[in-house]
Amino acid sequence: MLVNPFLRTLDTLPHTRILQDTFGVLQERVVDPLAPARLWRVESLFQPLPRAIGGVRIKVCDQKGFISFINQRDFEVLTGRAQPGDYGQWFDGEYVEPGHPDWIGFFADDADLDDDLCDRELLLRGDSPDGVLVPPLEITRRVHREPGVDYEELLLLQWDYDPDTGIQPDPRVSTIQNRWIRAELTRTPWNRTAALS
């Protein structure tokens, strides 16, 4: 087991859902059982959200620069921390194997993508005077949303403040959708995409 998220306090970086403790899994590699040519590397961990399967969320990036997320239960199976059929005390259920109807695997929803964008913002803020992001600023990211759904998108920074409160800079994940707009979205089949140079 990676961690029991219900018995331990999971501290996050301020204004984010990014976990401070990475439990020693950063840079760990995971093979995608549904697409064995795809090799994922752990980039960061995020606090649980209320979902059917709770637990820590793990952000991963593959060899072509696509990001995705994997839930703690499935990550534990893929990394040998648990075996299908084992009882998972932290989620009160059985671990399942890839291909099982309850298997989720690599998947990213809107909340995950907000967290990824917040993670990217932190890096940009580290290179910016006073941590303020100044338009024009753009991010291109490759996303693996679910099996068979891969795309590339261009995100543009509108501003780095909260129009309601005047807070500047505004590093909160809760307001990240106010700061960025999607300018382009292009379906990008993984097997026909070159690696990033």
pLDDT tens digit string along 60-106?
999 999 999 999 999 999 999 999 999 999 999 999 999 999 999 99
C-beta separation of 73 from 48 below 8 A: no
Residue 44 has a CB neighbour count (10 Å cut-off) of 22
Amino acid 166: pLDDT: 86
Residue 126 lies in a domain: yes
Q: Which domain holds residue 182?
A: 110-192
114 belongs to a structural domain: yes
- Please state the domain count of the chain: 1
- The answer to the question of residue 87 being in a domain is no
What gap in Å lies between CA 11 and CA 148, rounded to an integer?
Answer: 34
Q: Is residue 15 part of a domain?
A: no
Nearest-5° angle of CA 20, CA 108, CA 127?
45
State how far the alpha carbon of 28 is from the alpha carbons of 42, 98, 158, 189, in Å: 5, 19, 35, 25
Q: Is the dihedral of CA 58, 29, 142, 121 positive or negative?
A: positive
Question: Is the confidence at residue 53, as pLDDT, over 90?
Answer: no
- pLDDT over 70 percentage in the chain: 99
Q: What is the dihedral of CA 22, 28, 33, 35, to 10 degrees?
A: 110
In a domain, 83, yes or no: no
* Beta-ladder partners of 107: none
Q: Which two tokens stand for residue 52?
A: 């059917």
Residue 32, in any domain of the structure: no
Does residue 45 sit within a domain? no
Does the model's pTM come out above 0.85?
Answer: yes
Neighbour count for residue 10 (Cβ, 10 Å): 17
The answer to whether 140 and 185 have CB atoms below 8 angstroms apart is no
Summarize pLDDT for 8-41 with one digit per residue, the tens: 899 999 999 999 999 999 999 999 998 999 999 9
DSSP-assigned letter for residue 194: P
pLDDT at 197: 66
- Which one has a higher pLDDT value, 50 or 115? 115
> What average pLDDT does the chain have?
93
Backbone angles phi, psi at 93, to 5 degrees: -165, 180
Q: What is the DSSP letter of 195?
A: P
* pLDDT tens digit sequence for 132-171: 999 999 999 999 999 999 999 999 999 999 888 888 999 9
Reported as a pLDDT band with limits 50, 70 and 90, residue 128 is confident
Number of H helices, E strands in the chain: 3, 9
- 176 lies in some domain: yes
Q: Helix, strand or coil for residue 118? A: helix
